[in-house]
Chains A and B, each alone.
Chain A
Amino acid sequence: TQLLEQSPQFLSIQEGENLTVYCNSSSVFSSLQWYRQEPGEGPVLLVTVVTGGEVKKLKRLTFQFGDARKDSSLHITAAQPGDTGLYLCAGGVSNSGYALNFGKGTSLLVTP
């Protein structure tokens, strides 16, 4: 199992602030996904990145895959209360026994 470390573990900010969360590993992944999980619900896919150095934007969210495909970051601009949730990264290794390995998540709270 390839380990994914997410940081910070918890983050509490006020509406309008910017933030970045990180997902790091010593392993190389063929793809990396970010999910958001809201209380009482299952995780929902936000984005998949597959190319080293790739940057994808989803409205106020910017995702980056590291050049070496071992790490990723999620940057949120002007956070809103609706961004509150648990952000999970998941790394995929195409030839491994597991399709995806999940990090433990970053719990984000955005207060008005």
Chain B
Amino acid sequence: EAQVTQNPRYLITVTGKKLTVTCSQNMNHEYMSWYRQDPGLGLRQIYYSMNVEVTDKGDVPEGYKVSRKEKRNFPLILESPSPNQTSLYFCASSLSRYTGELFFGEGSRLTVL
């Protein structure tokens, strides 16, 4: 089954404790992206990757890091999480940056205390 898998789905952590949210897709997609979704603010892009070893900032990259060492994986790293990073995070992938349909993971709800 074609899918984007994120882990963990739920996480409560404390300020400053590094964490990684993993994302993996099995569709051989070149393009992958991370979004955060907040009430009243909608979906905002954090980082995206056009292909392996190619990443770029989205609208709200501050406080986040990403890497794309393999085509299928695109982890989101919070080096020193803060309460304002409490959010619902979505990983998405697409065949290419410009072909349209984004396939989303089920989301990771992160709470930073």
Which residues of A does B touch, CB under 8 Å?
A: 1, 31, 33, 35, 40-45, 48, 88, 90, 92, 94, 97-100, 102-105
Contact = CB atoms under 8 A, between A and B. Distances in A.
15 contacts: A42-B4, A42-B104, A42-B106, A43-B90, A45-B103, A88-B43, A99-B98, A100-B100, A100-B102, A102-B35, A102-B42, A102-B43, A102-B44, A103-B42, A104-B42
Given A99-B94, A104-B41, A42 B31 contact: no
B105 interface: yes
Contact of A45 (B40, B42, B102): B102
B45 to A, nearest CB: 6
Interface residues of B, number: 27
Interface in B62-104: 90, 92, 94, 97-98, 100-104
A43 B94 CA distance: 13
B34 interface: no
B23 to A, nearest CB: 11
Contact of B101 (A33, A88, A104): A33
A1 B42 contact: no
A51 B56 CA distance: 29
B101 A48 contact: yes
A40 B94 contact: no
B102 A40 contact: no
A94 B103 CA distance: 19
A98 B98 contact: no
Contacts of B90: 42-43
